[in-house]
Every structure is written in structure tokens, then in C-alpha cells.
């Protein structure tokens, strides 16, 4: 059966939110140290920033980066990372030693070089209202107060002007330092938000949502938190990680079905609180942690430990090696985020370097792209303009974990200014190539300007990955079987593949 997709220029969800293409830098493992920051590395600049990783970050197309955590932030004193005297601390979240050689000033400087927006998180685990409002004053007030003058004395005359702030991290989780009930957190989030806005009323604030859809408090947590804090926050967070279980690749490839449902359930809860509270404004979604993550046991032989077994400085932690299957799944996650771009306004793939990351680096060695780098980079590059509401008629197959799932997964955007339509499409079949037809309404295509596919390379299999010794084993290659004839595009997608097709179009 040929999959038929209809795209109508008049059926849109709204503008592509550029913050959908966010990333995450946490003080965890080797994300910061020997990741983005390694003084003495042959590629390091005068500030210790690795220029090879910076170049890959720009190629990836990240637009906003969340910092400094994550679980790490729930036990972090922001003052430790500013000024000349940086104390070494035990980090209980990841059982490691934090040197604090890299902190707020260094991250802001790095973000400016990388051309990304800063998304700062405050500690609502062990700290609270006072520390949060003081951090805002330190970071954003022009001068003339003790805290803003301290920033100036520490080398930053101009305010950092950070607009986007997370009110803690995963405080619904019993693993979190400072774990709280929904009522406890909702009240704390409300009062912290008010105090932060007293310092800077231009802030955008993200309340903590459920750590994942399987949490026993999911739904009830969002409802309780927002019942308290709806009036003072702009977004509520979502976190989700997926992996292949027991060789069930069919279910794993359909993980975005679960992501779709998760988003829609959170939106329903948010809007129920809005109606019950008679609020006029709309709270949207910050999906500020998502990725494939193989959460195996601490004694697994094929993955680095979840946490270090001793108090080490920047130990190797969850440095997952991503294969072809993982890349196709990540491509469908990006499709899901686009399909919900009317409500998901921020998203952060976790994390940027080394720790479950699209970019890998070695200490005093090279940096390279993992397989999951490619769908993110191309979607960030080409998803411009309006998100189209697609009608997709495709075979459905059964999965053990997610029920029925469409064989072909798709999203599309239309950039009227530049006359381009981009189709992002995945074939979940592991055995067969699939024919796809795209019917355009209100648009006419003149030529295919780009057609690329990520699939199993010649001589490889679905587990083929990029690593230190084979950094380019998997990547994007030309998609040959694609043609455009006016309002109809036809393509043949290889088995187990993610593809992007860009078409030059004009309104009719």
C-alpha cells in the first residue's frame, strides 16, 4: 500500500517555535568538563572552550540550552560557580566531585560564542525563594546593588539578561534532592516566581511537571501544581526518555506514539486548570528533557554506569552509543514536537555532549557526530515558517507497548518567505521499503531542492553506530527515488529510515 499524505497551505498549526531545537548542558559526567570546556585541549580557545565542540554545536543548530541541570541543580549553590574562589563540592546527584571551575559566567560566555539562548534553572530542592531572587538580581540587574556590583566585579559589566528560567527540576521524583509533594512544590513555585518577577518582570518561567508519563502522580501533579502557580508561570515542563526493551524494536520505533499521547494529556490537564481557574492567559509546554536513553543497571557490561562508584571528577556517566535505529526514533520525536508546535514552545534534547548526546568528544582527543545528530541538525535547519497539519493515510501495525502505530511517521513545514516546503518522514518498517505520495493543495512544486535519508549503510545493520574509530559510519545520504510533478511528490523510503525532502513551491 502506498502511503498518501496531503498538505494544504491553509491548514496550519502556527509558526515553528525556534526554541523547539534546544539542548541541555548539565554538570554531569563529561558534558561540561572535557565536553564543552577543556583548557589545554589542542582545540581550546583562550577561555578553555573546545572549538571543535562549538563548531558541531552550531552545525547541530541548537537554539536554546538549559543549564546547569537537571538533578545536579537540586543540590547546587550558584554562588560556588562565580568569582575567584571556587570551592570543590560533593555532588550527591551524580556521586562525583564538582570543581566549580566552570560556572554561570563561563556558561553565558560560551552561550554567546555558540549563539544560543540561556535557559537557567534555579535550585528549589535544597534552596528556595531567596537564592532564586538573588540569582536573578546577580544575573540581570544593571548595577548599583551588592549582587549586581558583585557580577561587575567578577568581570561582567553588562547584565546577562537571561529571560528563560526553570523553577527547579523533577521535584516529583523520590530520587531528587529535596523531593516534594505537588502541594509543597506548587506553593514554592508560586512564591519563587513572584519574588523573581519582583526583580525582573520580563522573565519567562517554567514550572516542574512530571518526570515521566509513568510516574504514579502523573496528571494529578500537573493539576495540583498549576492550581497553585498558574497565574505566575508561562510553561510547565515535560521529560521523557525511551529505549529498546528486550529486542522489541517494533515497539521502540513507535515510541513517538507515546510521546504524542503524553503531550496531549498534559495539554488537556493544563487547559482544565485554566478553565477551572477562569484564567485568561495560556500556559504552554516546555519539553525540556527528551531523548533515547538506555537506562540499564549499574553493573551492565555494555553501557557506562548510571552514576560513578567513587567520588571522581567528571567520570564517564551514561555515554550512550547511538545506532541507526536510535536515529530513526529521534527523527520521529522531532516530528512529534513539530506536530504539537502549537503548544510545545520549548524543547531540549538531553544532553549536548557525551552524556546521552548527539555530540561525543574525547579528552585531549577528537569530537564527532553520533547518529542522532543528523535528524536534529536537518530539522533545526529546514523546519521554518508554518507547521502544516498533515492528513496521513498509512498502514498501521500493532506494537506490544504502544498498540497500533502508523508505519510512516511524518511532519512538514512551509516557509512562505523562501518558497520552501520541508517534509520530515520516517519508515518504521524493518523489512520493506515504502512508497509515499505527497499531495499538495494550494501549493505547486517546481523542483526538489534537497532529498536526504539516514538508513542502514551498505555492509551494516540496524545497530551500526558512529564511534571514535568510525566517526562517519552512519550519516545522511542522497535519497534517489524521489520526484515532483506539480502538486504531487512521490518517493520510495528504504526500510528503517528517516528522510527529509525539501521542495521549492509556489502558491496557487
Which CATH architecture does the domain made up of 3-10+386-507 adopt?
A: Sandwich (2.60)
41: number of CA atoms within 13 Å, CB side? 24
Confidence (pTM)? 0.97
| CA atoms of 179 and 165, how far apart (whole Å) | 19
| CA atoms of 8 and 503, how far apart (whole Å) | 14
Instruction: Record the cell numbers describing residue 282, joined without a space.
Output: 495560556
Concatenating the DSSP letter of every residue in 79-119 gives: GGGSSS----EEETTTTEEE--SS-HHHHHHHHHHHT-EEE
| CA atoms of 274 and 301, how far apart (whole Å) | 48
Q: Catalytic site residues?
A: 170, 289
Residue closest to 191 by CA, chosen among 109, 97, 281, 127? 127
Instruction: Record the cell numbers describing residue 147, joined without a space.
Output: 549582587
Residue 374 in 3-state DSSP? helix
Same fold, 3-10+386-507 and 17-382: no
| CA atoms of 264 and 258, how far apart (whole Å) | 10
Write out the chain's pLDDT in tens, 508 residues: 899 999 999 999 999 999 999 999 999 999 999 999 999 999 999 999 999 999 999 999 999 999 999 999 999 999 999 999 999 999 999 999 999 999 999 999 999 999 999 999 999 999 999 999 999 999 999 999 999 999 999 999 999 999 999 999 999 999 999 999 999 999 999 999 999 999 999 999 999 999 999 999 999 999 999 999 999 999 999 999 999 999 999 999 999 999 999 999 999 999 999 999 999 999 999 999 999 999 864 334 444 446 667 899 999 999 999 999 999 999 999 999 999 999 999 999 999 999 999 999 999 999 999 999 999 999 999 999 999 999 999 999 999 999 999 999 999 999 999 999 999 999 999 999 999 999 999 999 999 999 999 999 999 999 999 999 999 999 999 999 999 999 999 999 999 999 999 999 999 9
**How would you list the strands of the sheet with 443-454, edge to edge?**
477-478, 443-454, 497-507, 420-427, 408-415, 386-393, 3-15, 434-441, 488-493, 482-485
Q: What is the pairing mode between strands 344-350 and 284-292? A: parallel
Concatenating the DSSP letter of every residue in 287-307 gives: EEEEEE-----TT-SSS--SS
Write the class of the CATH domain 17-382: alpha beta
Question: What ranges do the domains of the chain cover?
Answer: 3-10+386-507, 17-382
Instruction: Record the cell numbers describing residue 339, joined without a space.
Output: 506536530
Amino acid at each position: 500500500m502506498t502511503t498518501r499524505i496531503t498538505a494544504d497551505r491553509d491548514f496550519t498549526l502556527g509558526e515553528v517555535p525556534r526554541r523547539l531545537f534546544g539542548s541541555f548542558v548539565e554538570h554531569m559526567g563529561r558534558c561540561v568538563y572535557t565536553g564543552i570546556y577543556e583548557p589545554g585541549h589542542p582545540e581550546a580557545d583562550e577561555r578553555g572552550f573546545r572549538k571543535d565542540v562549538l563548531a558541531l554545536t552550531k552545525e547541530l543548530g541548537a537554539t536554546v540550552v538549559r543549564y546547569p541541570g537537571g538533578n545536579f541543580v537540586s543540590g547546587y549553590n550558584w554562588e560556588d560557580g562565580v568569582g575567584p574562589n571556587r570551592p570543590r563540592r560533593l555532588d550527591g546527584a551524580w556521586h562525583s566531585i564538582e570543581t566549580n571551575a566552570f560556572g554561570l559566567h563561563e556558561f553565558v560566555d560560551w552561550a554567546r560564542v555558540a549563539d544560543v539562548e540561556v535557559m537557567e534553572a534555579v535550585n528549589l530542592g535544597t534552596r528556595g525563594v531567596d537564592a532564586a531572587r538573588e540569582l536573578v538580581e546577580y544575573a540581570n540587574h544593571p548595577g548599583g546593588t551588592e549582587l549586581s556590583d558583585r557580577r561587575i566585579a567578577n568581570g561582567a559589566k553588562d547584565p546577562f539578561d537571561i529571560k528563560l528560567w526553570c523553577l527547579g527540576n523533577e521535584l516529583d521524583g523520590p530520587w531528587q534532592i529535596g523531593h516534594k509533594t505537588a502541594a509543597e512544590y506548587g506553593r514554592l513555585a508560586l512564591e519563587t516566581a513572584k519574588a523573581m518577577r519582583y526583580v525582573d518582570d520580563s522573565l519567562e518561567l517554567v514550572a516542574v511537571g512530571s518526570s515521566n508519563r509513568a510516574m504514579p502522580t502523573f496528571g494529578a501533579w500537573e493539576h495540583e501544581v498549576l492550581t497553585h502557580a498558574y497565574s505566575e508561570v508561562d510553561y510547565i515542563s515535560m521529560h521523557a526518555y525511551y529505549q529498546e526493551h528486550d529486542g522489541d524494536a517494533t515497539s521502540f520505533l513507535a515510541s513517538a506514539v507515546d510521546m504524542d499521547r503524553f503531550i496531549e494529556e498534559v495539554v488537556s490537564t493544563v487547559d482544565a486548570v485554566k478553565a477551572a481557574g477562569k484564567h485568561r492567559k495560556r500556559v504552554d509546554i516546555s519539553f525540556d528533557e527528551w531523548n533515547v536513553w538506555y537506562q540499564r543497571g549499574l553493573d551492565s557490561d555494555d553501557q557506562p554506569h548510571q552514576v560513578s562508584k567513587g567520588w571522581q571528577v567528571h567520570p564517564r556517566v551514561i555515554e550512550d552509543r547511538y545506532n541507526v535505529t536510535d536515529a530513526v526514533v529521534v527523527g520521529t520525536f522531532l516530528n512529534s514536537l513539530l506536530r504539537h508546535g502549537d503548544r510545545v514552545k520549548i524543547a531540549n534534547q538531553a544532553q549536548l555532549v557525551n552524556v546521552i548526546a548527539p555530540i561525543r568528544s574525547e579528552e585531549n582527543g577528537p569530537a564527532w557526530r553520533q547518529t542522532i545528530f543528523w535528524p536534529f541538525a536537518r530539522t533545526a535547519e529546514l523546519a521554518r515558517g508554518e507547521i502544516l497539519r498533515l492528513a496521513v493515510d498509512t498502514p498501521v501495525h500493532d506494537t506490544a507497548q504502544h498498540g497500533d502505530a502508523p508505519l510512516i511517521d511524518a511532519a512538514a513545514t512551509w516557509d512562505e518567505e523562501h518558497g520552501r516546503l520541508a517534509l520530515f518522514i520516517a519508515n518504521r518498517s524493518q523489512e520493506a521499503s515504502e512508497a509515499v505520495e505527497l499531495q499538495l493543495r494550494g501549493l505547486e512544486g517546481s523542483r526538489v531542492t534537497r532529498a536526504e535519508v539516514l538508513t542502514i549503510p551498505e555492509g551494516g545493520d540496524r545497530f551500526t553506530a558512529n564511534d571514535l574509530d568510525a566517526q562517519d559510519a552512519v550519516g545522511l545520504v542522497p535519497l534517489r527515488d524521489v520526484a515532483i510533478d506539480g502538486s504531487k511528490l512521490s518517493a520510495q523510503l528504504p526500510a528503517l529510515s528517516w528522510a527529509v525532502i525539501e521542495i521549492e513551491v509556489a502558491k496557487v
